[in-house]
Amino acid sequence: MATDPKETSERRAERLGELGFTRTPSEDDPRRDAPLLAAIEKVAPGTPLRQAVDDVIRSHEGALIVIGDPHELAFLYSGGIRLDAPFRPQLLYELAKMDGAIIVDPALKRLAWANVQLMPDPTIPSDETGTRHRTAERVAKQTGALVVSVSQQRETVTIFVGSARYQLDPVADVLAKTNQALGTLETYRLRLEQVLTRLTALEFQNAVVLDDVLVVLQRAEMTARMAERIKRDCVELGGEGRLIRLQLDELVGDVPAERDAIVRDYHAGGADAEASSALERLHSFTYRDLLEFERLVELLGYDHSVNPLDFSVAPRGYRVLSHIPRLPDAVVRRVVAGFGSLDTVVRASQRDLEGVEGVGAVRAREIRAGLRRLQEHNLVDRYLQL
């Protein structure tokens, strides 16, 4: 996909949509917050806590469950029954029939208190309307504990961690959305494979322009982001997401490694600290940033006035060499450092390769044979895509 550097972001977004690269909701996904995602995992299907919560919902009851250190939370208690009993889903379900909150230890091993009236700081702001949810939000904000609120009227489950709030969707809805996202990821991966195959061919021909690199980098990052979104769905699905996890692992493969290698291959400032910094910045890019090729040009250390369509670049060789079986990363780095570019490595003799530290006669032969196989394989792949 050749891209006019003067093309508007709107038109580029439209073109990406035509190719299957539609916007993912991952940027607005609250589950990107690590503590919240860890909390969701504790209430995921297949866990003892979720079993108890599902029993509460089926019985049309409500519940307020606080998961945290009972001693640290004690200043909030008013009344209640001290239990210190082993955690059992059935027991928690029975305790939920009482009006007060249930206190569970952080390891979810013991039920500490039941029927507790919680008294959080009333000055803590809350947007919740129901008493149970308002109390849950204030307790979470005040203590940082995980609070699970089960609504009796709406039969919904809402979790609060610190200032984060997340309402769990029905498992069937999450499964449907995740399977749809998995289909989108398949399209993403297919499009990515096409431009990767083309880039590899151009690398062996020493005919890469910056635009070729930007297209691959853009699509690799979008594919990786969609995969991350599906991983979060799998966390929420718990035991119901096993099959999707297997499909995801098969689809994602080495996409993150390919993306990182591209940055190390083509960053103008070098493959070490500058490339690592660029990768961190890439992860923080918004979807709009990814559409702006000018931002990606600057990310790779080139002047923003560069025209990607006619600016030739040469790979260092990290990505191609990493595809050679049994070639350690440390050896790849030394080979790249010793020759400077993929073209030089391809043209290197057996003796030249043996001169690199850690590359003996056997490994030198493997490198040369591996590069030949990659060239031949690339020709076959390109033929099949025609």
Question: Tell me, what's the pLDDT at 108?
Answer: 96
Furthest-apart CA atoms within the chain: distance in Å:
82
Query: Which tens digits make up the pLDDT trace of 41-66?
Result: 999 999 999 999 999 999 999 999 99
Q: How far apart are CA 70 and CA 114, in angstroms?
A: 11
* DSSP helix/strand/coil, 118: strand
pTM, two decimals, is 0.85
Strands (E), the chain: 63-67, 77-78, 81-86, 101-104, 110-118, 146-150, 157-161, 164-168
Query: 377 — phi, psi (to 5°)?
Result: -65, -40
Q: What is the pLDDT of residues 297-328, one digit of tens each?
A: 999 999 988 999 999 999 999 999 999 998 99
Q: Are 31 and 234 in contact (CB under 8 A)?
A: no
Q: Could you tell me the domains of the chain?
A: 34-168 (3.40.1700.10), 171-313 (1.20.1260.110), 316-386 (1.10.150.20)
On the CB side of 332, CA atoms within 13 Å amount to 21
**Which residue ranges in the chain fall short of pLDDT 70?**
1-27, 379-386
**Cα 212 from Cα 198, distance rounded (Å):** 8
Which whole-number Å values give the CA distances from 214 to 9, 295, 298, 317, in the listed order? 15, 10, 11, 17
| Burial class (CB within 10 angstroms; exposed 0-12, middle 13-18, buried 19+) of 114 | buried
Task: Please tell me the predicted confidence (pLDDT) of residue 3.
Answer: 43
Pairwise CA distance, residues 12 & 3, whole Å: 8
Predicted local distance difference test score (pLDDT) of residue 1 = 40
